[in-house]
Structure 1
Amino acid sequence: MSLSDIDLNSFGGKPLDDAREFLQSAGIDGWLTRDYRYTNPVFEAALGKRVGHLTRPVWLWIPSNNEPQILAHEVDSARFPADSPEITAYGNRDQMIAGLKAFVGSASKVAMEYSPLYELPRVGRVDAGTIELIRSLGPEIVSSGDVIQYSTERWTPEQLQSHFFAVDALDNIVKQTFKYIGENIRWALTEHDIAEHIRGRFDRAGLEWDDGPSVAFNEHSSDPHYEPKPGEAAVIRREGWLLIDLWARKKPETPDQRNISADITWTAKLGDPPTAKQQEVFDAVAGARDAAFELLENRVLEGDNPQGWEIDRASREVIEKAGYGKYYVHRLGHSLGYEVHSNGVNLDDWETHDTRTVINGVGVTIEPGIYLPEFGVRSEMDVYLGEDGPEITGNRQTEIVQIETS
């Protein structure tokens, strides 16, 4: 089997089986993923199960040609679900190293959460000492970035539906929030007040969230990750510029359910119509967003899925041509999964040079931005690569929202 033989159009949902399929295709003897005190969320994603409180280093070995196994400390070994892979318990360091040697001793190439020269921080989860330890047992260590994406980041049909639930809710909430601001502008609501309003809407809509949202008025929208805080947030006035970035996922029905997040950003003008400069910047951002999606769509339909950096570059060229290149200060987009910033390919030729392929079955955001000192514009939409090509899952903003405040 060669790497080209794997079915990039199939759905995920079987991480251990999918990992073995990828390892066989790539000529890698096994994948060793390790966690210690929840420093590596890839461990649970690869296992496909939530585990109770683990207090010592724990290892999951997925060989390409045999059954997965777990190496866990004696005090933690009983915390795994009954249907987990076979567990070997260790008590001291010598026993742990002996267990690891039994796993990888005959392997020539092992994948781990390692990124050469720290090129992809989202992949580089394992410290240098751990890499040195496994290398001392014999195998060559290679990056697990591609096997992570193939085995843990492709959405199941159920996860796709959970994403549609979330993105539909976010689309409705952001529109309702703009309306709410216009209707209540006389009450001198702050950015934090609006963020609290959105969080209340999230809860009533059946969504959960880890942090956010970002509600940024005027120059605060120039900060890509602005977060309004009580006592420091600006009052939203009758005249000005507003950016809202919101993300959440459907509340789970069972403890092991990993629903998929949605993440969108919209901009609005309060009071008078947008200025010529605001319209120019919005048009440049929207054009960059659409150019990125067009490249992704064309390449996927041609059967030549692009790498993450190529899509970022397509958007960056549009903004550079418009004269705003130095104000585009972040990557184009990120992997979208259970975590809103997930572990698959990022659309990035700025913060990193992401050479992972955007494979079918995964989701990403497309969110270029221009951040001038006086205001910032970002337009973010979610994209899923399905069997028929890329699909924009929510609404695409084509015009600046006008909020009447008179």
Structure 2
Amino acid sequence: MPDNIQQQIRKAGLDGWLLADFQGSNPIARQLLRHPDALLTRRWFWWIPARGQAVVLVHQIEAGQFRGFEGKVETYITWQELRRQLAALLANCDRIAMEYSPLGQVPYISRVDAGTLELVRQTGVEVVSSADLVQLVEARWGQLGLDLHCDAARLVMQAKDEAFLYLGEALADGRKITEYDVQRFLEDRLDALELVTDGAPIVAVNQNSADPHYLPTARSHQPIGADDFVLLDVWAKRDLPEAIYADITWVAYAGAVVPERYRRVFEVVR
């Protein structure tokens, strides 16, 4: 686990941090554990006290997934044992953090189900949100993350420039071109630049640009012609665990002079 977790727990005035997961329901727990691909089909808990040894509470048949864990591994078989051992872990605690957000205000952090919260609160502890802890120990960028982000941004901008050039040349030559053609071009360029993404770039013409989730497909797309308004939304990163996405949105006018109404809207938006 990251070295500064317990220090941050103490600074927050907490007795500890309890991470709970069931079949990947809490990606924050798996990410902090540095074992995101562990084969875990039963509930498991990771208790990080403000001081002392961390403890993982896991079903007996899956204890082997925690070989090399920096701390103590405790196992359970029945749900009754799970409850007893969880209560024992929290016996001397008053306030602990979990992946919970009051009123669901920050859904990215709301990873613990209501029933598990009830189970933990039955032990007598007060549960507060781990949002600040997650931000401090996991969501801050280091120098490597910054460097990879800037590198991705440079390459994504390059792909965007090449896509607009590709579109402009097609229009100048009088060739037919569609949103889908430009999207495919962008995908090929991102691949050539050794970037990965979790979704195809958005290429949207005219009214389609008003839909933030519009996506051209092989079956559904619009042609791009002279005097059209074109939007490109591209996001990608290096294929590395530490990599951070670069995400850009650019617009262009397929003509010699941008109409005044487009200029006015652009000035407002930017």
Mark yes or no: TM-score above 0.5: yes
* TM-score normalised by L of structure 2: 0.92
- Give the superposition deviation at 1:57: 1.6
Pairing 1:34–2:20 present: yes
> Is the contact made by 2:235 and 2:247 (CA closer than 8 Å) also made in structure 1?
yes
Whether the 8 Å CA contact 1:51–1:80 is kept in 2: the answer is no
2:235 equivalent to 1:243 = no
- Tell me how far 1:116 sits from its aligned partner: 0.9
Q: Structure 2 vs 1, CA of residues 184 and 54 (structure 1 numbering), >3 Å: closer, same or farther?
A: farther
Change (3 A) 1:77 1:212: farther
Which of 271, 293, 318 is the matching residue for 2:255?
Answer: 271
1:121 aligned partner: 107
* Residue in 1 that maps onto 2:11: 25
Tell me if structure 1 keeps the 8 A contact 2:155–2:193: yes
The answer to whether residue 139 in structure 2 is matched with residue 139 in structure 1 is no
Partner SS, residue 18 of structure 2? strand
Q: 1 CA distance for matches of 2:208 and 2:67?
A: 47
Deviates more, 1:52-61 or 1:129-138: 52-61
1:231 aligns with 2:234: no
Aligned 1:33-72 pairs, distance under 5 A: 33-72=19-58
Which residue number corresponds to residue 205 of structure 1? 193
Compared CA separation, residues 196 and 90, structure 1 to 2 (3 A): farther
Superposition RMSD in Å: 1.8
Q: After superposition, what is the alpha-carbon deviation per residue over 1:259-306, rounded to whole angstroms, capped at 9, x for unaligned? A: 1111111111112422222111111122xxxxxxxxxxxxxxxxxxxx
Cα–Cα, structure 1 residues 210 and 77, in superposed 2: closer, same or farther, change >3 Å? farther
In structure 2, the residue matched to 1:396 is: none
User: Does the 8 A contact of 2:54 with 2:70 survive in 1?
Assistant: no
| Structure of greater relative contact order (alpha carbons < 8 Å, 6+ residues apart) | 1
Q: Which entry has the higher C-alpha Rg, 1 or 2? A: 2
The count of corresponding residues between Structure 1 and Structure 2 is 268
Which amino acid in structure 2 is aligned with residue 106 of structure 1? Answer: N
Q: For 1:154, give the aligned amino acid.
A: R
d(CA) in 2 for partners of 1:88 and 1:97?
13
Cα offset, 1:35, TM superposition: 1.7
User: Are 1:193 and 2:177 counterparts?
Assistant: no
CA drift of 1:157 comes to: 1.6
CA shift, 1:148, in A, is 0.7
* Amino acid paired to 1:203: D
The 1:81–1:220 alpha-carbon spacing in structure 2 relative to 1, beyond 3 Å, is farther
Spell out the pairing of 1:85-164 with structure 2 (5 A cutoff). 85-164=71-150
Per the alignment, residue 285 of structure 1 pairs with: 269
1:131-156 deviation digits (Å, cap 9, x = unpaired): 11100011101011111111110122
SS at match of 2:4: helix
Larger helix fraction of residues: 2
CA distance in 2, matches of 1:61, 1:187: 63
Sort the Cα spacing of 1:266 and 1:89 in 2 relative to 1 into closer, same or farther, 3 A.
Answer: same
Matched position secondary structure for 1:210: coil
